[in-house]
Structure 1
Amino acid sequence: MRTAYLECQMGISGDMTLGALIDAGVDVDVIRAGIDSLNLEGVELHVEKIIKGGFAATAVTVKHPKQHAHRHMSDIREILSRSDVITDDQKQLALQIFEAIAGAEAKVHGSTVDKVHFHEVGAIDSIVDIIGAAIGFDLLDVDLICCSSIPTGHGLVHIDHGICPIPAPGTAELLKGIPLQDVPVEFELTTPTGAAIVRVLVDRFGPRPPMTIEQIGYGAGTKTFPQRANLLRLFVGQSVPTKDRETVILLETNLDDTTPEVVGYTRQLLEEAGALDVYTTSIDMKKNRPGVLLSVLCQPLLSDELQDIIFEQTGTLGIRISPLERATLSRSVATVETVYGSIRGKVTRPVGRTEWFQPEFEDCAKAASEHDIPLRDVYRTAQSVFAEHQSTAATHDHDHDHDHDHDHDHDHDHDHDHDHDHDHDHDHDHDHDK
């Protein structure tokens, strides 16, 4: 599984993220073309290789005229609509990041997403950082994004509303549910833009997963700290199939005065909101009343949102919250072409075994209905096609490896060419907000 890991030992900001992406090999010309297509007058993306804390890194700076505009979500949508170069997926990803910031600001200021206006994040440089990062991650084309715990820094920061303790209210709201770490530096290490990027993009927080590293990118921050390299490091490579451990949240509540229809509707809303699993158990409650135990398993980031759904829909007066650790197998998404049409599914590799394909129920049910055949036949066909493809690929790889070894023994210039191209990998760019 192609995986990206963000190592945020000195926090994260928009320009650091963009710099790390470019340094890891994302095509800066494609990002520039996307930014240029927004028709922002006088705006230029400046990328350079620098030394930060003794390490080579990419620094990104957004050159722009002086401005005093405070923008709303409607302004951001209008800016993105100007481009016929940025893809729909890239625009959607950028909008998700802006909407996360708008939602956090709306909550801390008692406003709404459409009415709240961006301050620092509404500045041109932050807009470019977010849109550039959205383009960059789309081009990176990874299946899984992981991230370390996040340091916020300490002290006070000047924002549009005055002086605030670090993290600023909007940043703190964005970091709810995300594991933090203490780095004893009196500075804003994680900006609202950086917090929004990890909130929207990251699938899993924790140590770097077992992986075969293919690229490493260093994004430099603008601030220089004694004895600490102000860098964001990005690892890109292939995850090693293994049992991954992660922290999840179990939400539970006992219901004895809720109709089955309400329970079913609540379950549907919870699943649509991103719950990992929702299930019910019949229980006996006080005064000999039959009841239902509603259990919801979710990522820590979604805990508050799912609690709100449970309170609003069921009328319960309390929810038990338990952090749990679970082990999961790495998985990816694949599609197989069968005589019944395209069938999507999840691919995983149990430890010590070959890859296994589990078809998606919706695709199989649709195919079974359209072709008037048993559902189990579609499942079996999809798994058979996947197994045949794997067998063919394995045979091809074996033949390819044999040919490669044969040529390698006779090609005496191979080592020279490899060394000659080595320096090219270090020609990257950089970005940073902090």
Structure 2
Amino acid sequence: MRTAYLECQMGISGDMTLGALIDAGVDADEIRAGIDSLKLDGVELHVEKVIKGGFAATAVTVKHPEQHAHRHLSDIHEILNRSAVITPSQKELALKIFEAIATAEACVHGSSINKVHFHEVGAIDSIVDIIGAAIGFDLLKVDQVHCSPIPTGYGLINIDHGICPVPAPGTAEILKGIPLQDVPVEAELTTPTGAAIVKVLVDRFGHRPPMTIEQIGYGSGTKTFPQRANLLRLFVGESIETPNQETVTLLETNLDDTTAETIGYSRELLEKAGALDVYSTAIQMKKNRPGTLFSVLCKPSQSDKMKAILFEQTGTLGIRITQLERSILAREVITVDTIYGSIRGKLTNPVGRTAWFQPEFEDCAQAAAKHEVPLREVYRAAQGNFVEPTSQPKTHKTDVHRHDHDHDHDH
């Protein structure tokens, strides 16, 4: 699987991303042609090789006339629609990045994504960086993007709204649900543009995956720091890990004053909101109080939603958050015909083992109630009528219908 890995040891910005893409082999002329097609007066994409911290890298600068426009999302749509060169997929990716920024800014300023102004990100150089990055990643032709935890730096910066701590409010909002790392540099290492690129493009955060490296690109930042090369490193190559490896978030809280009914109700809300799994464990807490460990497994992007439900429903004062790696077997949902009707179930076929079929409880329960037979009889009928794809046909009739989608939560 063709994979890109962003190593953000000194943060990430739009120009660093664009520089790393070009340094890794993306054709700068194709990106430049896309930018030129936007018909932005006086705008020029300047690409040059530089030495940063002793290492060769690519620096990208957007040269443009002075301008003071504060743009809305509708203005970005209009700019993108000028181009007959940028492909629909590239436009869609660029818009997703802008929408991630607009959503964060709307949240911070109590507005809506269509009313919010793009301030620094609405400047021509940021617009070019985002659209150029969208074109570049599309041209890179990777199946997945991985990324290291993101450093933000620390200190104070001056933005349109005055002096703000690092990360700026909009950047911090974009970075929700994304693992951060501590790099003790007093500067803004990750910009709103860089954070939004990561938010939209990255499939998984963590260490560099096992991969055969084909290209490495270095994108230069504008600042210079003592003893640290201000570079974004991009690895591109073939991943040799299983495609069924993924990162999940585990949310846990200890409850000692919550009723069983509240825990059950909270579980239902969490499952409806898309949790991968919700479970509780009896524990002994301090002062010999019996309690409940309430655990929620979810996708990293769902973390904020799950935390909100936990805080609101259980009244807990704190939630522990852990990023976990998990391996999952590929599965598909199939339907088996039985004397009790059609029963759906999950089929997994691990390498080197026979296929394993598990009927769905809901289908079996409905069939058992309808035909007034024990639940176990329906299970037996479904499992007995299942035929492995490579097996010879049995003496009784079996009809297996395959589907490409999963039926319920991915545990």
TM-score (norm 2): 0.71
Return the alpha-carbon distance in structure 2 between the equivalents of residues 179 and 196 of structure 1: 14
Structure 2 SS opposite 1:297: strand
Q: Which residue of 1 aligns with 2:400?
A: 376
Deviations 1:336-382 (A, max 9, x none): xxxxxxxxxxx9986xx69x9x9xxxxxxxxxxxxxx98725479xx
Offset at 1:83? 1.5
1:225-244 deviation line (CA, Å, top 9, x unaligned): 22211100000111122585
Equivalent position of 2:250 in the other structure: 249
Preserved contact between residue 249 and residue 321 of structure 1 (Cα < 8 Å): no
The structural deviation recorded for 1:323 is 3.5
- Structure 1, residues 283-312: CA drift from partner, whole Å, max 9, x if none? 9xxxxxxxxx99753233421134447889
Aligned to 1:171: 171
Deviation of the 1:153 alpha carbon: 1.3
- The yes-or-no answer on 1:30 pairing with 2:30 is yes
Distance 1:375 1:103, change over 3 A: farther
Task: Write the distance in 2 (CA, Å) between the matches of 1:170 and 1:88.
Answer: 27
Q: State the SS of the aligned residue for 2:61.
A: strand
Question: In the alignment, is the contact (CA less than 8 A) between 1:241 and 1:330 conserved in 2?
Answer: no
AA matched with 1:33: A
Contact 1:330 1:349 in 2 (8 A): no
SS at match of 1:129: helix
Aligned counterparts, 1:4-153, within 5 A: 4-153=4-153
| Residues 250, 295 of structure 2: 8 Å contact kept | no
Q: How far apart are the structure 1 equivalents of 2:237 and 2:5?
A: 9
The structure with higher relative contact order (CA 8 Å, sep 6+) is: 1
State percent identity of aligned pairs. 67
Report the equivalent of 2:366.
none
Quick one: distance in 1 between partners of 2:349 and 2:23?
31
Alignment of 1:275-354 (within 5 A): 275=275, 277=276, 296-308=296-308, 321-324=319-322, 326-329=324-327
**More off after superposition, 236-245 vs 149-158:** 236-245
Q: Equivalent residue for 2:379?
A: none
| TM-score of the pair, normalised by structure 1 | 0.67
Could you tell me how far apart the structure 1 residues matched to 2:175 and 2:105 are?
Answer: 12
The one-letter code matched in structure 2 to 1:198 is: V
CA distance change for structure 1 residues 323 and 168 in 2, over 3 Å: closer, same or farther? closer
For the 8 Å contact 1:247–1:325, the answer to whether it is kept is: yes
Instruction: Give distance in 2, aligned partners of 1:23 and 1:375.
Output: 54
Give me the whole-angstrom Cα distance separating, in 1, the residues matched to 2:169 and 2:329: 36
SS in 2 for 1:225: coil
Structure 1 contact 57–217 (Cα < 8 Å) conserved: yes
The 3 A distance-change label for structure 1 pair 266 and 52 is closer
Amino acid at match of 1:237: G
Superposed CA RMSD in Å reads 3.9
Q: 1:384-399 alignment to 2 at 5 Å?
A: none
- Any residues of structure 2 matched to 1:199-210 within 5 Å, and which? 199-210=199-210
Other-structure match for 2:369: none
Contact 1:329/1:349 (8 A) holds in 2: no
CA distance in 1, matches of 2:134, 2:175: 19
Q: Matched residues in 1 for 2:271 and 2:323: separation? A: 23
Give runs of aligned pairs for residues 192-203 of structure 1, distance below 5 A.
192-203=192-203
The answer to whether the 8 Å contact 1:70/1:119 transfers is yes
Give the equivalent residue in structure 2 for 1:424: none
Conserved 8 A contact 1:4-1:234: yes
Which amino acid in structure 1 is aligned with residue 10 of structure 2? M
- Unpaired segments of 5 or more residues in structure 1? 284-292, 334-346, 359-372, 381-434
Gaps of 5+ in 2: 283-292, 332-347, 358-396, 405-411
After TM superposition, the runs of 4+ consecutive aligned structure 1 residues lying more than 3 A away are 242-247, 250-260, 262-268, 278-281, 293-296, 306-312, 315-333, 347-350, 377-380
In structure 1, what is the equivalent of residue 233 of structure 2?
Answer: 233
Q: Which has the higher helix share?
A: 1
